[in-house]
Amino acid sequence: MKRRDLIKLSAMGLLAVPGISLAARVPAVPRLQLELRPEQRHWFVSGGAPSDGAPVALWGSNLDLLRLRQHQPVEIEVINNLPDETTLHWHGIRVDNAMDGVSGLTQAPIPPRGRFVYRLTPPDAGTFWAHAHHRTYEQLARGLYLPLIVDEAEPYTADRDQLLVLDDWRLGKDGQLDTDSLGDMHEWAHGGRMGNILTVNRQHRPQLKARAGERVRLRVLNAANARIMVLQLPDWPIWILAKDGQPLSAPREHAGPLVLSPAERYDLLLDIPPNGEGSHSIYHLANESQIEIARLLVDAQAAPLVRSAPVPLAANPLPALPARAPDHRLQLDMTGGAMGSLRQAVYRGQMLNIDELVQQRQIWAFNGSAGLAEQPLLRARPGELVEIELHNNTRWPHGMHLHGHHFQAESARYPSDLWHDTLLMARGDRVPIRFVAGTQGRWLLHCHMIEHQAAGMVSWIDIVV
C-alpha cells in the first residue's frame, strides 16, 4: 500500500488505532533541496586589492548553512545548476559509502541540470561541512561548499552559537576570481594555491555581534584550498569543546593562536568578560604580520552573571579504540613535491619517471604510487583495528583526511585524546593514527591541501565484509 493511500484511509478513520498515530508507523523522511548555483558576493577590499565594488562571481548554493539533527534521517536533494558536473561530500559525517560523494569512486558526477538525492542519518553531533568532491581543486576554490552543523539531541547551553568559516580566495586585477591560475603545477608542487583575500563566513572582514558577559560557542572551520589558518581570538578564556566534530571528554583550556589545516574544525567556548564591551579584532597570523579577518562588536552587558566551569558536549556514539594490538599495521610514506626526492612513481598501473609524472600533472606519491590506484592501500573488515604510520617525507606540511572515520593520533602537535578526521602534519612528522574500520565501502585517504590531492596525494582503503 502506498503512503498516500494509508493517509487517505487514515483520514477516513479506517486505520484509526487508539494510541498509535499513523505518523509513528510511516515516518516521513524530511527532504531538503540544495540548489548548487553561481552566486555573487560584494567584497569591498581596500589596500591595493580590487575595490571597484563589482560583485565577485562564485559558486555556492541556496543555503548558507545546513543544519541537521543527530540520528535523524534526512534526504538532501542536490540540484546542480552549475555549468559543470559535480558531487557533494559530507566531510566528517559517517555516511553509507554510496552517499560519500566521491566522484569516480562512490558515484558518477551529477551533470549540469541533474539531481542526486543524498540520504544520511548523522550519527554524530558537531561541526562538519559539505563540499564538492569533483575537480575539487577548482570547485572548492570557486566556493562550492557549505558549513554543516549537526545539532545535539539535547541542546548544549551557550549564550550564542557563532560560526567562523575561514576561507582564502584569489582575485585577479579585474576583481574576479583568478581562474587562470587554477591548475598551476608550480603551486601544486609547493604549498598549494594561496589566495590574496581572506573571508569569514564568505564576507570580507565582517562585524560579528555579541554581548559582554556572554559565553559563546564558536565553530571554526578552515574551508581554504591550501592555506593553514592561524586564528588569533581576543585574549579571553577559551576552551576546546570538540575537534572535527568529536567532543573532548572534558573541555580543554586553550591559550594562544589556534592552527587549522584546511578542513579542520574546532568547537570552542569563549567567555566574553563582563567588561568586554567594545570592538575586538580577530586575526589570522601570517609570518610575523597579523591580518584582521573579522571584528567582534561587543555590546554592553545585559546582566551580571556568575560563570560555572564549562561542561563537555555529550559524547558521540563513536566506537572506542580497543586496547589490543592492531589487526593491521602499515606505513604510509608521503613523498614528492618541490625540493623532494621523488624520482619515479606508479601512476595508473605504470611506473613513470618524474618528467612523465609531471606531464600527467602528478608530483606527489603515497608509498610510491601517485593518484588513485586500482588497488587500495589496505583491505580490512568492519570492527578491525587499523594503525597507519603516516610519514611526511616531504618538505611541506600536509593535512591528511580519512573519509568515513575518525582516528586518534600520536602527534606532538595535538593532545592525544582528540579525534580527527583531518590531521595537520609538519615536514618530517611521523604520526601513527589508529581507527576502527567502519562500514563497508571505499574510503578515501588524501591530503586536504587540495592541490596536493589533485597532484597525487590520494589513496583509499577498502572495507569488506
How far apart CA 215 and CA 361 sit, in angstroms, is 48
Nearer to Cu ion by C-beta: 202 or 452? Answer: 452
- Please select the residue that binds Cu ion; options are 447, 450, 454, 455, rule is CB under 5 A: 447
Q: Which stretch binds ligand C2O (CB under 6 A): 342-350, 371-379, 430-438, 442-450?
A: 442-450
Among Cu ion, ligand C2O, none, residue 142 binds (CB under 5-8 Å by kind) = none
How far apart CA 157 and CA 306 sit, in angstroms, is 15
Please work out the total of residues on this chain that contact ligand C2O, with binding judged by CB under 6 A: 10
Please work out the total of residues on this chain that contact Cu ion, with binding judged by CB under 5 A: 4
User: Is-contact 376 462, C-beta < 8 A?
Assistant: yes
463 grid coordinates? 572495507
- Please select the residue that binds ligand C2O; options are 403, 406, 442, 452, rule is CB under 6 A: 403
56 grid coordinates? 565577485
Query: Taking CB positions, which residue lies at the least distance from ligand C2O?
Result: 91
How far apart CA 293 and CA 280 sit, in angstroms, is 11
Q: How far is the CB of 447 from Cu ion (least distance, A)?
A: 3
Question: Is residue 265 a contact residue for ligand C2O (CB under 6 A)?
Answer: no
* 75 Cβ contact partners less than 8 Å away, ≥ 6 residues apart: 29, 30, 31, 32, 117, 118, 119
254 grid coordinates? 586553550
355 C-beta neighbours (distance < 10 Å), count: 8
Question: Is residue 134 a contact residue for ligand C2O (CB under 6 A)?
Answer: no
How far apart CA 463 and CA 254 sit, in angstroms, is 37
Among ligand C2O, Cu ion, none, residue 442 binds (CB under 5-8 Å by kind) = none
3-class SS of residue 320: coil
Give the DSSP letter of residue 22. H
Question: Is residue 398 a contact residue for Cu ion (CB under 5 A)?
Answer: yes
334 grid coordinates? 608521503
Give the DSSP letter of residue 78. E
Q: How far is the CB of 101 from ligand C2O (least distance, A)?
A: 9
Within positions 1 to 30, which residues make up the interface with Cu ion, using CB under 5 A?
none
Q: Which stretch binds ligand C2O (CB under 6 A): 2-10, 320-328, 383-391, 443-451?
A: 443-451
Q: How far is the CB of 391 from Cu ion (least distance, A)?
A: 13
3-state helix/strand/coil string of 385-438: EEEEEEEECCCCCEEEEECCCCEEECCCCCCCCCCECEEEECCCCEEEEEEECC
Question: What x/- string results for residues 74 through 103 when contact with ligand C2O is judged by CB under 6 A?
Answer: ---------------x-x------------
Write down the residue that cell numbers 551580571 correspond to.
304
Question: Is residue 442 a contact residue for ligand C2O (CB under 6 A)?
Answer: no
- CA distances to 75, 198, 244, 247, 273 from 125, rounded to whole Å, are 17, 28, 11, 9, 28
Question: Is residue 131 a contact residue for ligand C2O (CB under 6 A)?
Answer: yes
Q: How far is the CB of 60 from ligand C2O (least distance, A)?
A: 17
Nearer to Cu ion by C-beta: 282 or 390? Answer: 390
- Please select the residue that binds Cu ion; options are 88, 380, 452, 455, rule is CB under 5 A: 452
Binding site residues, Cu ion, CB under 5 A: 398, 447, 449, 452
Binding site residues, ligand C2O, CB under 6 A: 89, 91, 131, 133, 263, 401, 403, 444, 446, 448
